[in-house]
Structure 1
């Protein structure tokens, strides 16, 4: 199993190197293949393979429009299809235009090249690392995440809003439910099964109420509602989140089925979910 994982990782690194030299201009397209440093980024999720690609400091581009490092995102099996990857990339491109997502430098059927953002999600707080389960449960990050989720959900995007799948009919509730479910999983484990499940860490009713009040405070309908009206909006959303929590587990179980032959994501998802 280990040799298969190492072989896949080496193949991905070669692919990332090739994409950088193919899509990026300046020194990226002229320096030798062996001068591009490709580093696997671990702990950034399970549905994509992320690689940071960097050129030597003495090859740093003079033009500010040419990056000295980029992020190469290679889709896992569940995303390696034209429809799913195209839609995801289209949404990311639209968000990038609004300065709400990294710039996109190149698009392939198997993945894409993105701007490398040193600090993820909450730049002034994250301090050059990805968020972990402790961050998700902290009050500081919770407030920022609630506001960002509301901002994304309220964003005016030139995309069809009509539901075409069960979860899309309740997108807001599903996103919030999935966020709360993530409180119970810690992925900072390299040994099998590569996570720790702590159901007692699921947010309490009081914690959920505080979070959704911050989330809803970004909506005009909520801010202009009466006291009783706000209570009803909160109750309805909390009820929706509670009902959709099971779909979060169902979705990740389906994800595991799609990736059952993938050695990198070969986790014990039957126990996990």
Structure 2
């Protein structure tokens, strides 16, 4: 297997996992940095939020196969899913702060969620109970555990400098040359770990509706209409599925996960769409725990407190879909 072809498009930035007892090894860091320095040159452009939103269908068809290739990597770290370990770790630390000693008032700042969809306040104990509920869902979901990026939003997707997004949504070379390589690159694996495939999918679709490129408080915007992108979601999942089948049939990866596809392409597509939808709730409670802790000692200009509450409100709005799924199993 060509390690440069498999890994370099993704591991431009690798960091030890945030607040984890299983950090990425020094060997992985050193090898990745060496390979990147040796084989990668040039410059990149970040994709603007407006470009990401308006051209999500085209971009998604490129990102999806890249995500699929990440999910087939065999990385020498713990293979246990980390989503709940991280969330519970952040919550445990938040409990020890002044903010964790009192109820968390939930109010929406940027999210547009009806007040009747979420409680007025919750305690840390109640938030722990919600994580237990999510754990039950994760078990019943049977989503494959894969190596995951866990933070695939537009700020972590770069466009090679020689390429641009055309008005029709296509990606073209500014030099006029044919696009012969992936024009996009995934970066910043700070939160990477083995995780449920559905989390990486659901988290990515949460990010369709969140804009972090804001200069005024709360320093982010939430576009609720972008959470329900039926056409983009299905096209993304279809491109993901097709790449998984291509890799499986090529035999290029001796460590290819056997549970990513079933042999029934329609069934696989339906499952991916379902996972990408249901796991949005998991993403929301995960990042709410992260933001609650960061709000106690913020080092950058960002309203973590409001962000935590917005993501909690979104979680509660979506919780019923998790319960409905579990009741059907």
- TM-score, reference length from structure 2: 0.44
- Of the three residues 279, 282, 292, the one matched with 1:247 is 282
**Where does residue 219 of structure 1 map in the other structure?**
244
Q: CA deviation at 1:89?
A: 6.6
Larger RCO of the pair (alpha carbons < 8 Å, separation 6+): 2
* Alignment: residue pair count: 177
SS in 2 for 1:158: coil
User: CA separation in 1, counterparts of 2:47 and 2:25?
Assistant: 22
2:52 paired with 1:136 = yes
Per-residue CA deviations over 1:32-65 (Å, capped at 9, x if unaligned) read xxxxxxxxxxxxxxxxxxxxxxxxxxxxxxxxxx
- Of the three residues 304, 307, 311, the one matched with 1:269 is 307
Q: CA deviation at 1:255?
A: 0.7
2:193 paired with 1:256 = no
User: CA separation in 2, counterparts of 1:72 and 1:211?
Assistant: 24
User: CA separation in 2, counterparts of 1:116 and 1:73?
Assistant: 17
User: CA separation in 2, counterparts of 1:72 and 1:146?
Assistant: 19
User: CA separation in 2, counterparts of 1:74 and 1:266?
Assistant: 24
Instruction: Point out the structure with max Rg over C-alpha.
Output: 1
Distance 1:259 1:162, change over 3 A: closer
Q: CA deviation at 1:227?
A: 12
Aligned ranges 1:12-51 → 2 under 5 Å = none
SS in 2 for 1:193: coil
- Of the three residues 191, 196, 200, the one matched with 1:171 is 196
Distance 1:93 1:216, change over 3 A: farther
2:227 paired with 1:202 = yes
C-alpha RMSD of matched pairs (Å): 4.0
Distance 1:229 1:197, change over 3 A: same
**Where does residue 118 of structure 1 map in the other structure?**
43
Distance 1:142 1:259, change over 3 A: same
Q: CA deviation at 1:142?
A: 1.6
2:21 paired with 1:83 = yes
Per-residue CA deviations over 1:160-199 (Å, capped at 9, x if unaligned) read 4244554794532111111111110112211100111110
157-166 vs 241-250, which moves further:
157-166
Listed as ranges, the gaps of 5+ residues in structure 2 are 1-11, 85-137, 139-143, 146-194, 250-260, 312-329
Answer whether contact 1:96 1:103 (CA < 8 A) is retained: yes
Distance 1:235 1:117, change over 3 A: same
Q: CA deviation at 1:263?
A: 4.1
Distance 1:237 1:192, change over 3 A: same
Q: CA deviation at 1:94?
A: 5.6
SS in 2 for 1:242: helix
Where has structure 1 moved over 6 Å in runs of 4 or more? 71-75, 221-224
SS in 2 for 1:179: helix
Listed as ranges, the gaps of 5+ residues in structure 1 are 1-70, 105-114, 120-127
- TM-score, reference length from structure 1: 0.53
2:186 paired with 1:161 = no
